[in-house]
Amino acid sequence: MVTVALDAMGGDYSPEEIIKGAFDALKKDKDINVILVGKKEVLEGKITEEYKDRCSAVYATEVITNEEAPVAAIRAKKDSSIVVGMNLVKEGKADGFVSAGSTGAVLVGGQLIVGRIKGILRPALAPLIPTEKGVSLLIDCGANVDARAEHLVQFARIGSLYMEKVIGIKNPRVGIVNIGAEEEKGNALVKETMPLLKECDDINFIGSVESREIPKGGADIIVCEAFVGNVILKLYEGLGSTLLGKIKDALMKNVFTKIGAMMIKSSLKETLKSFDASEYGGAPLLGLNGLVVKAHGNSKANEICNSILQCKSFKEEALSDIIREKMTKN
Amino acid sequence: MVTVALDAMGGDYSPEEIIKGAFDALKKDKDINVILVGKKEVLEGKITEEYKDRCSAVYATEVITNEEAPVAAIRAKKDSSIVVGMNLVKEGKADGFVSAGSTGAVLVGGQLIVGRIKGILRPALAPLIPTEKGVSLLIDCGANVDARAEHLVQFARIGSLYMEKVIGIKNPRVGIVNIGAEEEKGNALVKETMPLLKECDDINFIGSVESREIPKGGADIIVCEAFVGNVILKLYEGLGSTLLGKIKDALMKNVFTKIGAMMIKSSLKETLKSFDASEYGGAPLLGLNGLVVKAHGNSKANEICNSILQCKSFKEEALSDIIREKMTKN
């Protein structure tokens, strides 16, 4: 059994969609338990008879909002859903914690409460992004910008373990985001990191990846500093939604196009589903003594459900233990 | 009259599409002259009777390839199409130079041959990118990474002049690429640049722009360091092509979707045309004593034509003079 603590208070569609996501996960997988964390008045009476055996509630009187400064909020609001949920992981009462709440608070809480694995310099926020070939791991998209070369090397290592163990890609290809394929291209950080990655015999480093190759599936693990990762992630989302909006406009132009739209609708929907980030669950915060998953702020039940299911593979593969072991060796 | 020197040897589709682009521009605008620069054996006999009065050829015996190191190539190949074309600008025989050849060579040649405007610390490669609202200027996407705050401030200034004078956007909004809208977010460079941009009373600075806002038209001038700019530009192109490929697959799935596709085809094409980067011509290299435009390596006639037309607005608005004047004042 895997037990997942779920922040019922976080995200634009909480608590309804969050709770629905929990029930969907419980329905899909009988080996999952969920602990809903949130205000008593919000959760009381919400857990249906059907899931009563595998779903419980732990109350928290406070909520951390997106507007609050993360470090101060984590320190001050000891009874917030994020702090209470993370303490459940720390105390071993839950295997993982999922939240669609404040990214900053989740990142800070992960480090301060759940704690880094010994040897890990920085935990990394590593979302899966859809590509033509399936899915790639974008590491790091976190809040700690201006990384050093040694951080990027660790990202490459723990990202490789995640893709191999949790996602099931054998010998995953590691690329570093760069502005050209040639050896001499890059900024100071990339130039410093490149030879270090080449020396790693425990990863399958394939060199530079230009950003235009990312959607084509140019590498399985896309290593970059968090500022660049954040730019890539948000542009992926923004451009995708803009292009789909344009296509919708074109389909709704006149009666003729509307009929055409009906004829292609299901095929289009199916094709684009594979490019929907919510299908892959939230972004794990890798390198902690336990699993913390950050779901999008606008997550609906589907993403929450997938984030919970993701925790199961993580636990089954004992990824934290594997990373810990690796860090002791290197 | 505006005279544009055109590198007939550069780009994947040279010389045919390049020459066709020149003729298209000459046809569209009677106030344009084009000087084709390239090998004698390639150009001889190519200029048709129709355009003979406004189109001439200047021969260059060498070509700089994408594989060559830019600085060495510009220095060694004095009779290459890029060096010869840029010398035409330097000597005042042409108002602008357009090339779809090696980006590195165009950037280096621009600085070494055409030369920076006095006071300009770094010229910037600034492509126009399509957005929901029209078009934004992404500055800088050049080869000089690891910029300093004072460079970004100049980019904001010269980008504003370009958007106002050449593209015709009144009081254009300047945003700096950042990973959050909050004041405390950003890397060291952004944090250092932010207060400097706020102090500029000659630009309309609107603060941070997250990359997801770029396709929505979140700012008219998107200021960033070249590494980040390059990542944004190439992801824009890559993701666009991947999504359109997915949509094509969906439309070709079966007989039913193929009929639907026929019904929406023209509407879709029209809508997506506004999102086609080639409609906006190439990227100007701003801050030089003359106009240099870098067109995509895969440019066809349409982009070359638009790049030539772009030179006209640049000349008419005397942008180099305006930038020069501005630099003397500040």
- How far is Cα B318 from Cα B290, in angstroms, rounded to an integer? 9
Residues of B in contact with A145 (CB under 8 A): 179, 186-188
Chain B positions in Cβ-Cβ contact with residue A244 (cut-off 8 Å) = 243
Write the DSSP symbol of residue B37: E
Are A247 and B188 an interchain contact pair (Cβ–Cβ within 8 Å)? no
Q: pLDDT tens for residues A185-237?
A: 889 999 999 999 999 999 999 999 999 999 999 999 999 999 999 999 999 98
CB contact under 8 A, B228 and A232: no
Q: How far is CA A231 from CA A178, A191, B133, B177, B293, in A?
A: 14, 20, 20, 8, 26
Q: In angstroms, what separates the C-alpha of B23 from chain A's closest C-alpha?
A: 31
pLDDT in tens, A89-135: 999 999 999 999 999 999 999 999 999 999 999 999 999 999 998 89
C-alpha–C-alpha distance, residues A176 and B153, integer Å = 29
Q: What is the CA radius of gyration of chain A?
A: 20
Helix (H, G, I), strand (E, B) or coil at B209: strand
- CA-based nearest residue in chain A for residue B141: A179
Whether residue B127 has a cis bond before it, omega within 30° of 0:
no
Chain A contact for B250 (CB, 8 A cutoff): yes
Provide the 3-class DSSP secondary structure of residue B283: strand
Nearby residues of A33 by Cβ (< 8 Å), 6 or more positions away: A1, A2, A3, A4, A54, A55, A56
Of the pLDDT bands very low, low, confident and very high (cuts 50, 70, 90), residue A274 is: confident
Q: Which pLDDT score is estimated for A278?
A: 66
Among B236, B267, B271, the residue with its CB nearest the CB of A239 is B236
In this prediction, residue B277 carries a pLDDT of 67
The helix/strand/coil state of B5 is strand
pLDDT of residue B185: 82
Report pLDDT for A277.
67
* Half-sphere exposure for B43 (CA within 13 Å, toward CB): 22
A206 touches chain B (CB under 8 A): no
What dotted CATH number matches B122-277? 3.40.718.10
Of B230, B243, B250, the CB nearest to A240: B243
**CATH homologous superfamily of A121-277:** Isopropylmalate Dehydrogenase (3.40.718.10)
Contacts of B187 in chain A (CB under 8 A): 145-146, 227
User: What is the ipTM, given to two decimal places?
Assistant: 0.90
Check residue B247 and give its pLDDT. Answer: 84
- Euclidean distance between CA atoms B286 and A263, whole angstroms: 48
Q: Is the dihedral of CA B253, B256, B262, B265 positive or negative?
A: negative
What residues of chain A lie within 8 A of the CB of B232, using their CB?
211, 231, 235
User: What residue type is assigned to position B265 of the chain?
Assistant: K
Helix ranges (H only) for A29-137 are: 40-43, 70-76, 81-90, 103-109
Tell me which of A267, A274, A275, A276 to substitute to probe the interface with B (most B C-beta atoms closer than 10 Å).
Answer: A267
CA distance B173 to B329: 22
Q: Which helix (H) or strand (E) holds A91?
A: none
Better pLDDT: A324 or B328: A324
The closest of A140, A138, A104 to A120, measured between CA atoms, is A140
pLDDT for position A319: 84
Report d(CA B7, CA B59) in Å as an integer.
10
The encoded tokens of residue B63 equal 């070509």
Average pLDDT over residues A292-309: 93
Residue A128, classed as helix, strand or coil, is strand
Q: Encode burial over B75-99: b for 16+ CB neighbours within 10 A, e otherwise.
A: eebeebbbbbbbbbbbeeebbbbbb
Tally of helices (H runs) and strands (E runs) in chain A: 11, 12
Q: Chain A 274-303, CB below 8 Å of chain B: which residues?
A: 274-275
B184 and A240 in contact by Cβ < 8 A? no
Give B289's DSSP letter.
Answer: S
Amino acid at B170: K
Which of B203, B268, B126 lies closest to A245 in space, CA to CA?
A: B268
Higher pLDDT, B45 or A182: B45
User: Are B1-120+287-330 and B122-277 equal in CATH topology?
Assistant: yes
Q: Dig out the tokens for A91 from the structure.
A: 């105390």
- Measured CA to CA, the distance from residue B214 to residue A243 in angstroms comes to 12
- Contact check, Cβ <8 Å, B179/A227: yes
Q: pLDDT 10s digit of each residue in chain B, 330 long? A: 999 999 999 999 999 999 999 999 999 999 999 999 999 999 999 999 999 999 999 999 999 999 899 999 999 999 999 999 999 999 999 999 999 999 999 999 999 999 999 999 999 999 999 999 889 999 999 877 889 999 999 999 999 999 998 889 999 999 999 998 776 788 999 999 999 999 999 999 999 999 999 999 999 999 999 999 999 999 998 888 888 888 888 888 888 888 888 888 888 888 777 777 667 778 999 999 999 999 999 899 999 999 999 898 888 878 888 888 888 776
* A160 sits in which H/E element: helix A149-161
Q: Residue A132's CB: how many other CB atoms inside 10 A?
A: 17
**What does the buried/exposed string (b/e) look like for A59-80 if buried means 16 or more CB atoms within 10 Å of the residue's CB?**
bbebbbebebbbeebbeebeeb
- Could you give the CA distance from residue A128 to residue A134 in angstroms, rounded to a whole number? 10
What digits encode the pLDDT tens for the residues A13-23? Answer: 999 999 999 99
DSSP element (H, E) containing A141: none
Question: For chain A, which residues make up each domain, given as ranges?
Answer: 1-120+287-318, 121-277
* Alpha helical stretches, state H, chain B: 16-28, 40-43, 70-76, 81-90, 103-109, 149-161, 188-199, 226-251, 255-273, 301-316, 319-329
**Domain B1-120+287-330: CATH class, spelled out:** alpha beta
Rounded to an integer, what distance in angstroms lies between the CA atom of residue B264 and that of residue B277?
A: 22
* Relative orientation angle of helices B149-161 and B188-199, to the nearest 10 degrees: 50
Cα B275 from Cα B269, distance rounded (Å): 10
For chains A and B, CB pairs below 8 A equal 182
Q: Which CATH number fits domain A1-120+287-318: 3.40.920.10, 3.20.20.100, 3.40.50.150, 3.40.718.10?
A: 3.40.718.10
Largest CA distance in chain A: 66
